[in-house]
Structure 1
Amino acid sequence: MPSERKQVLLRLDPAVHDALARWAAADLRSTNGQIEFLLRRALSEAGRLPAAAREQRGPGRPRKEAQEQE
């Protein structure tokens, strides 16, 4: 059974949010997915990404066969 995902309230400057949302759309991710992607990349570059962290799903919609398995 997968562990429950944590929820975090994040306050952003509206201009930062808009830029992030545009970047997410260009990468075929949700804004939330883009934030997680960037946080994981920063953690990895700093050598602080836990080995126990599950891989993040790739951008875009899951393939039909992947949806049927879930």
Structure 2
Amino acid sequence: MARKQVPLRLDPAVYDAIANWATDEARSTNAQIEMMLREQLRKAGRLPKNIGDIPKPGRPKENP
């Protein structure tokens, strides 16, 4: 499935806080925003059932 591109305007301080959090968890800022949105959708009971889990942070392990 193709990813949807969405322009997003954020307060610079909010962006910096998210970017720092993303760095701490070895994610891109974009992945961190998606993780935050998915978590809030899940908590609100609005995340569709067919949506997969968010990949774990960091680089994927190489196959031996």
Residue 47 of structure 2: aligned partner: 49
Question: CA–CA distance in 2 between the matches of 1:56 and 1:22?
Answer: 19
The CA RMSD over aligned residues, in Å, is: 0.7
**Structure 2 CA distance for aligned equivalents of residues 33 and 58 of structure 1:** 10
Would you identify which runs of 4 or more consecutive aligned residues in structure 1 move more than 3 Å?
none
Letter in 2 for 1:43: L
Name the counterpart of 2:20.
22
The 5 Å alignment of 1:1-70 reads: 3-65=1-63
Q: Which runs of 5+ in 1 are unaligned?
A: 66-70
Q: Where do 5+ consecutive residues of structure 2 fail to align?
A: none
More helix by share: 1
Amino acid at match of 2:57: P
Q: TM-score, normalised by structure 2?
A: 0.93
Match of 1:16, as an amino acid?
Answer: V
Distance 2:18 2:53 in 1: 21
Which SS does the other structure have where 2:46 is aligned?
coil
Output the amino acid matched with 1:22.
N
